[in-house]
Amino acid sequence: MSNDGPRKLETCDDTCPDTAIIGRAKAVKLRRPKFDFKTFTPHWARNREFAQALNAGSPIPTCIEPYLNQVMRRAADTLGPAYSRLRQDITLFIGQETAHYQMHARYDEAMATNGYPRVREFAAQMKATYQRFLTAKSLKFNLAYCAGFETFSQAYAYYFYEAIDDLFAGADDTTAAKVWHWHLAEEFEHRSVCHEAAKALHCGYAARLYGLVYAFFHLSVQTKRILHYLLEVDRARMSAQEIADSRRSERRYQRRASLYLLPRILRMALPFYDPRRQRTPRGLDAYLQRIEQEFAS
């Protein structure tokens, strides 16, 4: 690889191609939507606890996706000459993930300036953790963690597009809803890149399974911490009855999410799982076309 290769993979803003084909999947495109956070409100959905559950997830991509990019850049540097196509896929992957974490950083800042300043603190802690992973952990561990995260992200794409339309009712045009639908659609688009890189660099099934389990529990803990804080702020302004109602609503939503997501993540953990062969969630392609048309420039 030339000396220019890693630099292009890292920045990607102006040097990435606009499309690439990943495995047997459809073309992957680099999109740059310009969502407006000027009118953002934390309680953007009718179900406050649902909105806050998604808000609590936003610092995750802000922190994990720069880490994903660095891991995949290291993987690209390690791949042999037979993997030129995979290196091209990694370039697109990094381009999409860069757009994601930059957008979620704006999302997080909107939360921080709307009454939840500790969101910044949680993000700083997670960034420090991922820096430690890069410094102290092996490439094999980091690839397995990344592949695990990318695997269960697909379950969330199905969840968002096929299972919770009722929760988005009346909120489809909010900035938060648009960000999440765009983000998860692109996660599904590039779903095979980390998986293929891990396999190419001899990260076997046992390691990938460990990475999936590790990433799932690690990120679940982080999200719960942030959600606890967000709801604690909300409930400080509630009556006793409102707090009881809020807690019931939170439990109902968490149970619903778990019943949908966990069986699908378990199926994705099986040894014969191939992300390239997964069907596209209903409405995902149409939504991406809508985003492309809305932000065409």
Query: What's the one-letter identity of residue 190?
Result: H
| Mean predicted confidence (pLDDT) in 158-162 | 98
| Topology of the domain comprising 4-294 | Ribonucleotide Reductase, subunit A (1.10.620)
Q: Determine the Cα–Cα distance for residues 251 and 223; give it in Å rounded to an integer.
A: 15
| Cα angle, residue 284 at apex, residues 282 and 290 outer, rounded to 5° | 130
Confidence band of 3 (pLDDT split at 50, 70, 90): very low
Is 27 in contact with 20 (CB distance < 8 Å)? Answer: yes
The 10s digit of each residue's pLDDT in 229-257 is 999 999 999 999 999 999 999 999 999 99
Q: Is 128 helix (H, G, I), strand (E, B) or coil?
A: helix
**CB-CB neighbours of 86 under 10 Å:** 21
Residue 277's contacts (CB-CB under 8 Å, 6 or more residues apart) are 24
Q: Tokens 């190419």: give the residue.
A: 200
Q: Find the range with the poorest average confidence among 8-17, 84-93, 202-211, 241-250.
A: 8-17
pLDDT attached to residue 27: 67
- Judge if pTM exceeds 0.75: yes
pLDDT attached to residue 297: 60
Which residue would you say has higher pLDDT here, 156 or 2? 156
What H or E segment, with its residue span, contains residue 19?
Answer: strand 19-21
Is 28 in contact with 94 (CB distance < 8 Å)? Answer: no
pLDDT attached to residue 197: 97
CA 151, 153, 154, 157: dihedral to nearest 10 degrees? 180
**CB-CB neighbours of 139 under 10 Å:** 16
